[in-house]
Each structure stands twice: as structure tokens, then as C-alpha cells.
Amino acid sequence: MKALKWSWWIVVCFVLPSALRAQPRPDPVGTIYTTTNTPVHDPVLIQQDSVYYLFCTGFGISVFSSANMKEWKKGKPVFDQPPAWAVAAVPGYKGHTWAPDISYHNGRYYLYYSVSAFGKNTSCIGVASTKSLHPASPDYKWIDHGKLLQSLPGRDMWNAIDPNLIVDDNGNGWLTFGSFWNGMKQVKLNKDLITVAQPEQWYTVAARPRNFLLPDSSAGDAAIEAPFIFKKHNFYYLFVSWDYCCRGEKSDYKVVVGRSTTVNGPFVDKTGRPLWQGGGSLLLQGDGKKWFGAGHNAVYTANGNDYLIYHGYDALDKGRSKLNIVPLQWDNTGWPILQDSITLNTINQ
């Protein structure tokens, strides 16, 4: 959802792909899809009891459920109506909500989500919570806690989208987020997980070189976004997506990773290069035959096994975005690996 250049490049490379993403294919509630036919963007996964829930970009935040991670049933969105605060904060926002993040803490499920204006860092991150994800439960009720963070053109060199929550070993919540501009940011939250801790603690955890001749209002050419932090083997692993999503057959999205012994970094790749200085070890990319670009991943542990969850652009279906859930393994030095760094057999194949 980003731009390469200011001027007309913004229209061609940013507004057009964003507009396409804002008009998803018809997807009626109750429809059941197999995994690699499930139309998603920016998926995250969580399990409650025997049910897996998938949240992703869509009007009101799209929701799917599954008993086996193979067949996915489309549910009702989180929001029936666009949050009023978001409509007021972001001109043009009509409910198409990006890149949610879901986790369970303190007896509640916390859902962070993004609202943004196309082509700008006029963006906000909001948060909602519920005691249960089961729609039939009396505890199922999403409470929207409103705006958590906001970025503005001309004021901020970061973009308040693509949130991800990590709770460190000391019980402190950290929200990592960002897209293009000066990279991935991280801020400490209060124990309630819905407000920023004071005094504020901010970090830059990943970035790519940016053409600083471009105006602050331009995303620039530092194509990085979608941070996700996962704790494993005494390391915090930071996954980010490089290059471009949302272009169908021309998408060249990919996932890179770095790690750190502390939640704030510095995160370094296999060569020791910090991610905030452009480092990143390649984990996943498309092959142009089965999948074009693939990225915006999450990591989740289910039944003792780790999985990489992401969307890929289907080379056999005109580059449409589809769900992938792939077993994530670890080498003898503790780095995440996939059986094939180009294309993986998904869980239902």
C-alpha cells in the first residue's frame, strides 16, 4: 500500500494498487475455502479452544475460522460500521481496515488494526478487545478502545500501520509497526495494552535506505513493512517484508528476518548486519511460477508446531492474493528455515 516516487509515480504505483486492494472479490459470509484458495491479505492466526481464527485486511476486518487449518469459513467482520473516530481522523476512510494483529493477554483478545489514507502517512493504529472469539459465546463482544497511535504528513517520518504486539519476558507490552518512510518503529505500552506508556520509549528496529531528496510526505523507495516479532530459543526474531505487495502478477514481496537477545534490538541478520541499517536474511520469496511475491507474515505456535502465515500472489490465478500456512522449522544455529525458500507445500497439500 505504498508509493515509489512523489508526483505521478504515486498515482501509478501506489494509488492504483491500493484501489485494487480496496475492492476485494465477493466473499459471502459462510463461504468455505481451502487454505491456498482463501482470499486474504495480511493474515494473522490465533486459536481458541479447538477453533482457529484468522484475521486479515478487509472491510470491518475480515475473519475466517477453521477446525483444522485446512478449510476456512468466512465469518462476519469485527466491525459492522467504520469506527467513528477513524472516519474523523483519516479523510476518505470508509471501513476498509488494514493489517490486523491478534493476541491473548490478561484474559482478553487484543486486536490492533490500521486505518490510512492512500499514498500518505495519514494513518492511525486502533485497538479493540473481546473476552471470546466465538461468535456464539455470551463473552463475544468487541470493544473498540479507539486510537492508539497516529502519524501525520509533514510531522512524522514514520507510518502508523501494520501493528504487531509482543510482550517481553518482564511482562511489558511493545507495539512494533511501520511501512516505508524511516522504517519500523517500536513503542512501549502500558499494562492495559491500549495506551502508550509514559514517558514514551521509542526505537527504530528495522529500515532500508531511503532517498532523502524526496519530500517527507512521500513514502519514498525504502520498501519495508509488516514487522512481526516472535520469541524462540532465547531470541526475539523480527520478520519484515521487503519490496512491493498489491501489484498482482508484478508483486515481488518477500520476507527477511533478523534476531536479537532483547525485544528492542538491535536485530541483526546472519551476517551480523543490523536490520535498522538495511540488513535482513531472506526467508521467503515467490518463484514466478506458482506464486509471485509472498509476504506480510505472522508466526504462530499450534499444538507444539510453529507455522509461518502469509499471503502470496497466485501465479495460476492472475496474481490474486491467497492464504499460505507453512511449517516453520529451525536450523542448528537457531535460525528459522523453510523446506524450500522459494515455494512451500502448505498444510493442506
Active site residues: 42, 225
Number of Cβ within a 10 Å radius of residue 3: 25
DSSP state letters, 105-134: ETTEEEEEEEEE-TTS--EEEEEEEES---
- Distance from C-alpha of 3 to C-alpha of 223, rounded to nearest angstrom: 9
Q: From residue 180, how far is each of 37, 47, 148, 206 by CA, in Å?
A: 29, 31, 20, 10
For residue 227 the three cell numbers come to 514487522
Question: In this structure, are residues 122 and 90 in contact, taking their beta carbons and an 8 Å threshold?
Answer: yes
Per the omega criterion (within 30 degrees of 0), is the bond before 199 cis? yes
Per the omega criterion (within 30 degrees of 0), is the bond before 336 cis? no
DSSP secondary structure code for residue 274 in this structure: B
For residue 77 the three cell numbers come to 467482520
For residue 90 the three cell numbers come to 483519516
